[in-house]
Structure 1
């Protein structure tokens, strides 16, 4: 089982520069990461409320050379007194959104960067970004994808889903997403038949409440597509452990599970 730490929380850690490379899948997508070491100016153009605690922030980044679904970036905020804060964030938008990227951020209690975005930021404000980073969790659209996320862990998975739709890919894709309630389900209006939502505290009438369970996972593993699933899990430490255990118990090969964790 391969894994990394997720970029979608308020963190202060930096990561090593990524050398120039090129990801390519014939008929799918090709992305240069030659600018991954360069800071670029990103201008905020739009803010969309997703849930009471999460919002999507759309940026114009003219020199952005693209990304793969599942990539993340480093964002740098500089205060008037020179104080600098850097955070890793997953990219929510599909790669075909030329010259623009979108980030969906939770309002983290005490988070200085997420707090600024949710209480201060307005269209026209600028930040700096560097990326794309970390090809480990990337999905170029070349293999069946089983996506499993909880809370804001759905952000990089939504980039994959949007890419799948934008390109009209016929490769199988399924999404299992967990939220505490329908009100807290990020991107609720975008899901279709490929998605199963699980609610842990409050659910719509007729939908059981509870954690993601074997009953949610087993049917997907039973309908293995040719070549089998490549599984992508994103969420908190506890959720990642729980979800990966469910997948393995249902028959998913350990070496075909990719994990990003909050923390």
Structure 2
């Protein structure tokens, strides 16, 4: 009996599609809504005005994230489809040139000319389009554009992220709202950074520092603008 056995592996890179959209959506939800709440509260608005502004920001932001992700990822999908269609036509029109092109790719990766030709020939006999899609175009399964998945993931995670600072408006006294939302949102961002890093196998400390730094900068800017506008008005 062989001492070796095959086993399946779940690589972290396979999560890149939905993870990017999820982290982006949640991060934007926390930062944009918290910044909006802080800016409106800093302008000396009452609780009801802050709630209305925050709720409007949540709804508008979720819809904007969904639409933006769908449009941008659809553009990627259209480009991939166009490249695949062109590759199909080239394979039908000149299969020998495409085979030579594939062999050249394998040579550049370190195979000898004879072995590169053999590998290209066998892969082309199995599924020529799949071989060119993967090795010439660089399109692999976990990187394929999925517009609906990206849109739904971003909208849902944005809503969850935005709901966290918005919930504080209902329970924190208005006089303490700005520092409370700022501190809580930085904690939320730190947790998000850690979760995202953990899911993606990245260094947790660096990811946490990155999201909290930019979140703090955004909230500080909107608080300053809110205070300025409130003083002028």
Q: Which has the larger radius of gyration?
A: 2
More strand by share: 1
Normalising by the smaller structure, the TM-score range is: under 0.3
- Ranked by relative contact order (alpha carbons within 8 Å, sequence separation 6 or more), the top structure is 2
TM-score, normalised on structure 2?
Answer: 0.21
TM-score between the two structures when normalised by the length of structure 1: 0.20
